[in-house]
């Protein structure tokens, strides 16, 4: 292909494509675990990505993934406030989660059902965490962000991140001990 004359808006868009869009799956996963269902999560991600595009000029070469996740998380928080009755606490629906699984490559039926049971327990334990703890745990254990990055995403002091992770982990420990035995 012939190099086209640099149109700044095209250039900006392709830069955005290359730096931010690779993290779309992570954004979706976080939104899904915050919102608890696909339809809301997709709305949140779509809004967040367009917002990210709008503010892309302010993005100054720090890591793109935590940057995008911060926008997703903030969009999610205000989206849930706007669109949901306040007293409803939405958590992920493990029944829906079942659909999302990639097909297993056939271990024995017992292994399969044990595996499924375990996954259910894990999903349920995470879904049951209070939202503040849940997002901190997801950012740490699934997204593998540092405390400093999590503090930036959640806009709380590092000490708060520390205690949310510690308490979230304790809750999971108790839940899973009861469940898995």
Partner 1 sequence: MSVFDPTGFIMDCESLHLYFDGELDTVAALAFEKHLETCSQCRTDLAEFREIRRHLQSELTRVPASDGLRHRIESGLEGHDEDAVPIRRRGWTWQKLAVAAAMVAMISSGTTFYLEQPSEESLWAHGIVNAHERALLAGHTIDVASSSRHTVKPWFSGKTTIAPLVADLTDAGFPLIGGRLDVPLDRAMPAIVYRAGAHLISLYMRPADGATAPKLDKIDGFSVLSWRQNGFAFTAVSDADGAEVGKFQQAFAAKAAEMQ
Please give the residue ranges that form the binding site for partner 1 (CB under 8 A): 9, 12-13, 16-17, 21, 24-25, 27-29, 32-33, 36-43, 45-47, 49-51, 53-54, 56-57, 85, 88-97, 99-103, 115, 118-119, 122-123, 126, 137, 140-142, 146-147, 162, 165-166, 169, 172-173, 176-177
Cβ-contact 67, 59 below 8 angstroms: yes
Rounded to the nearest whole angstrom, what is the least distance from the CB of residue 130 to partner 1 in the complex?
13
Rounded to the nearest whole angstrom, what is the least distance from the CB of residue 122 to partner 1 in the complex?
5
Rounded to the nearest whole angstrom, what is the least distance from the CB of residue 8 to partner 1 in the complex?
9
Cβ distance to partner 1 smaller for residue 3 or 101: 101
Q: What is the 3-state secondary structure (H, E, C) of 91-156?
A: CCCHHHHHHHCCCCCCCCHHHHHHHHHHHHHHHHHHHHCCHHHHHHHHHHHHCCCCHHHHHHHHCC
């Amino acid at each position: 292909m012939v190099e086209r004359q640099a149109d700044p808006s095209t250039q900006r868009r392709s830069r955005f494509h290359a730096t931010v869009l690779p993290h779309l799956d992570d954004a979706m996963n976080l939104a899904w675990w915050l919102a608890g269902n696909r339809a809301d999560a997709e709305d949140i991600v779509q809004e967040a990505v367009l917002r990210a595009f709008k503010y892309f000029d302010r993005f100054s070469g720090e890591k793109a993934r935590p940057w995008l996740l911060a926008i997703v998380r903030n969009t999610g928080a205000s989206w849930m406030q706007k669109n949901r009755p306040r007293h409803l606490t939405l958590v992920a629906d493990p029944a829906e989660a079942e659909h999302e699984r990639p097909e297993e490559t056939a271990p024995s039926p017992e292994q399969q059902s044990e595996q499924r049971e375990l996954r259910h327990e894990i999903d349920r334990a995470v879904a049951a965490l209070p939202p503040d703890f849940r997002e901190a745990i997801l950012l740490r254990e699934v997204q593998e962000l540092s405390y400093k990055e999590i503090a930036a995403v959640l806009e709380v002091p590092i000490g708060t991140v520390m205690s949310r992770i510690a308490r979230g982990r304790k809750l999971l420990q108790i839940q899973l001990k009861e469940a898995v035995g």
